[in-house]
Amino acid sequence: MQLNGFNCMDCGKDTYQSREYYMLRNDVWRRICPDDYKGMLCLVCVEKRLGRALVLSDFPYWNINDEAVRKLNLLSENCVIK
Residue ranges in contact with Zn ion by CB under 5 A: 8, 10-11, 13, 42, 45
Nearer to Zn ion, 42 or 59 (CB): 42
Burial annotation 67-77 (CB, 10 A radius, 16+ → b, else e):
ebbebbeebee
Single out the residue of 15, 17, 10 nearest to residue 48, CA to CA.
Answer: 10
Nearer to Zn ion, 61 or 79 (CB): 79
| Cα 80 from chain centroid (whole Å) | 14
Nearer to Zn ion, 18 or 69 (CB): 18
* Minimum distance of Zn ion from residue 15's CB (angstroms): 8
